[in-house]
Amino acid sequence: MRRGVSLVAIGAFILAVVAAGALALALSESEAQKEFQAKGCVGCHNGQIAPDFKGVIAKLKSWATKYASLDEAVASEASSFSMPQFKTAKNWNDLMSKMPGITDELKKFFEQVYAKAKGAGGKAAGAAKATTTAPAAAAAAAPKTVTVTVTTTKSMVSTVVKTITKTVTEKEILTETMGTPTCEEGTAKLVSKAAFVAAVIIAIAAIAVAYMFMSARS
């Protein structure tokens, strides 16, 4: 048991040393630029035939905003490369293998540039999404003004159109309780008189029918 634990500890220590060594070998931008020049890359990457060192970095950062990986970027962009020998590159490693003078340190440096730009781009996209979502949510929750036109009959001879404006939320329903229509004073008198006359006529008719019935029995 103790021997197994010791082997695990030794393995972890070796991995830690390897990781620390890899980090130590990572080039800074100034060191990578010196390496770029020392290996003769500037013979083609001079800003005329191909992008210079700064231009290569800018290109990698641009790729980070458009492509999911360096392999995808090379596969999509290879046909537009200015130098014919690089137009047939299928992926990132294929492109690097065609580059004369490229070193593992430079390759790793360029990969780190892309990875950092990719990470920063993802954070920026998330922040932008949050910024645009908040106003949209606020707008959805804001009260809205609804205008409703209600037409009611006020009397037998007149019609009134009334416009009601009320601020409500999306979940509210605009309602209005209308009272029982009332007649104008003159119209009410006419109706009352007509009802009285009708009652008199009905009474006379009833008396006449009763009289005729009594006469017939006699």
Residue 20 lies in a domain: no
Domain span including residue 43: 25-139
- Which amino acid type is present at position 137? A
pLDDT digits (tens, 9 = 90+) for 131-188: 455 555 555 555 555 554 545 444 433 444 444 455 545 444 444 444 444 545 555 5
Are 73 and 39 contained in the same domain? yes
pLDDT at 46: 92
Higher-scoring residue by pLDDT: 172, 84: 84
Cα–Cα distance, 82 to 62 (Å, whole number)? 17
pLDDT digits (tens, 9 = 90+) for 16-53: 434 444 444 578 999 999 999 999 999 999 999 999 99
Residue 65's pLDDT is 96
- The answer to whether residue 111 is domain-embedded is yes
Same domain, 78 and 171: no
* pLDDT tens, residue by residue, 102-111: 999 999 999 9
Residues 90 and 150 occupy one common structural domain: no
Tell me which residue of 165, 195, 173 sits closest to 183, measured CA to CA.
195
pLDDT > 80? residue 74:
yes
Note whether 49 and 76 are same-domain residues. Answer: yes
Q: Are residues 149 and 209 in the same domain?
A: no
Pair (73, 36) in one structural domain = yes
212 within some domain: yes
Q: What percent of the chain has pLDDT over 90?
A: 40
Domain-embedded: residue 9 = no
Domain count, the chain: 3
